[in-house]
């Protein structure tokens, strides 16, 4: 669930709350692959840090 959006100098960052809090750069085409507003789904290409 997207909790909020942080505005930074370079690009916005989505704050996603779930089991963990994740900060995802809002970079369409690179990190953000697609957004379906009707379904409420954002598809991202994300590699979880180890």
Q: What does each of the 50 residues of the chain score in pLDDT, given as a tens digit?
A: 899 999 998 899 999 999 999 999 999 999 999 999 999 999 999 777 67
pLDDT at 9 (0 to 100): 87
The domains of the chain are located at 2-44
pLDDT at 24 (0 to 100): 94
How far, in Å, CA of 35 to CA of 24, rounded? 14
Q: Output the furthest CA–CA distance in the chain (Å, rounded).
A: 33
> Which CA distances in Å does 46 have to 2, 24, 33, 38?
15, 8, 10, 22
43 pairs with which residues across the strands? 34
Total-model pTM: 0.78
Token representation of residue 27: 């970079």
């Amino acid at each position: 669930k997207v909790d909020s959006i942080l505005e930074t100098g370079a690009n916005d960052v989505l704050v996603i709350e779930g089991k963990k809090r994740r900060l995802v750069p809002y970079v369409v085409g690179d990190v953000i692959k697609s957004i379906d507003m009707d379904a409420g789904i954002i598809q991202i290409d994300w590699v979880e840090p180890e």
